[in-house]
A and B are shown apart, each in its own frame.
Chain A
Amino acid sequence: MIVRIATERQYRLPDETADRLNELDNEAVAAVEADDEPRFRQLFDEMLTIVRRDGQLVEEDELTGSQIIIPPPDLTFAEAKGEFTGEGLIPD
C-alpha cells in the first residue's frame, strides 16, 4: 500500500499497517469533533511516526498514485477542523 504524507514523500507500507492507521484516523476524527486538540495532535503525530518508521520510501523515479494521503505534518488544529467540516485544505 502506498501512503503519502502531503508536502513530503510517498511510502510503501504493509497492508496490516493500514488497519492501524485506520483506527488512529477514526480516533483523530473523533478528537477533532470533540474539540480535543492535544488528543488530536497526539494521534496525528502517531500516524506520521508509524508511516515514517515502518514505511519504505518510494523511489524517486517510481510513478505511482497513493491509496492514502495524510495531511501535511504542520497541519494546524483549525485546518484539521476545516478538513472534517468539508472546507478542506484547499478552499473552494
Chain B
Amino acid sequence: MSVVFKSKISKLLDRAEDPSETLEYSYQKQMELLQNVKKGVADVVTAKKRLQLQSQKMEQQVVKLDTQARQALSAGRDDLARVALERKQFTQTELQSLDGQVVELETQQQQLIEKEQRLRVKLEQFRTKKEVIKAQYSAAEAQVKISEAATGVGEEMADIGLAMQRAQDKTENMRARAGAMEELEEAGAFDDNLTLGSGKDDIDRELAKLTTGTEVDSELERMKAELGAGSGADAPALGAGGDDINKEEKPA
C-alpha cells in the first residue's frame, strides 16, 4: 500500500541525512531543528494575532453597517439600506471564514508545540538508551538496536519537519489573503464580487448573488417591520420613542 507514501516520506528522511549519524554526532543539528520549530510556532502566533485583529475590525464594521441600514430606512432610503445590508452580508461571510482560519491556526500551533515536546523526549530517550544498549549487548547487536532506535527518532524529526513546512505554507497563504483583504478594505473596494475568491465560476457567482439577494431582501423586510413597530405609539425603541424618554427625564 503506502509503498507510495512510505517512499515519499523516505525521501524526506534521506534528505534529513543519515539519522543515526545525525543523532550520534550532531547535537547542534537537533538544536537547530528545535529552534526552527520554535520559530515556526512564533510565526503561527503572529499570523493568528493579525487575523484576530482583522476579525475585530470586521465585527465593528458589521455593527456600523447595520446601524447605517436602519438610518437609511428611517429616512426612507431603501436603496441605501440595501447597499448597506449587502455589504453587511459580505462582511459577515468574510468574518466567518476568518474565524475558521483562526481556529485552524490555533490547532496548528498546538500541534507544533506538542510535537516539539515529543521530539525532545525522544531525543533524550535516545541518548540514554544508546548507553544502556551499548552496555547490555554485544557490539553487533547493539549496533542493530541503536540503528532501530535511530530510525524511530529520525522519522520523528522528518515528521516534525513536514508538519512545520505545512504550517508555514498555510500561514503564508493566510498572511497573503489577510494582506489582500486589508488593502481592499483601505481602498474601500468591498463589493459582493469579493465574496467569492478564485476557483468559483460564473454559475457559483450567480447562485451566490441570488442567495445573498434573498437574504438581503428578508433582512430588509425584518428591519422595516421593526422600525414600523418602533414608530408606534408606545414603543420607545427607536427614534419616535425619544420624546417620551425626554419627558420622563424632566423634573416634575
Contacts and interface: CB of A to CB of B under 8 A. Distances in A.
Interface in A35-84: 60-66, 68-72, 74, 83-84
Nearest to B124: A61
A91 to B, nearest CB: 10
B1 A26 contact: yes
B72 interface: no
Contacts of A30: none
Contacts of A31: none
Interface residues of A, number: 27
Given A21-B1, A25-B2, A63 B162 contact: no
Contacts of B12: 89-90
Contacts of B166: 7, 72, 74
Interface string B105-141: 0000001000100100110011001000000000000
Contacts of A66: 155
Contacts of B2: 25, 68-70
A36 B155 CA distance: 31
B121 A6 contact: no
A90 B11 contact: yes
Interface in B138-191: 148-155, 159, 162-163, 166
B24 to A, nearest CB: 14
A88 B5 CA distance: 8
B118 A60 contact: yes
A60 B5 contact: no
Interface in B1-52: 1-2, 4-9, 11-12, 15
B122 to A, nearest CB: 6
A7 B159 contact: yes
A7 to B, nearest CB: 4
The 10 closest A-B pairs by CB, nearest first: A63-B152, A88-B8, A25-B1, A65-B151, A7-B163, A63-B149, A64-B152, A61-B125, A69-B9, A22-B1
23 contacts: A6-B5, A7-B111, A7-B115, A7-B166, A60-B122, A61-B122, A61-B125, A62-B125, A62-B152, A63-B125, A63-B152, A63-B153, A65-B152, A65-B155, A68-B5, A69-B155, A70-B2, A74-B166, A83-B4, A88-B11, A89-B8, A90-B11, A90-B162
Interface of A: 4, 6-8, 21-22, 25-26, 29, 60-66, 68-72, 74, 83-84, 88-90
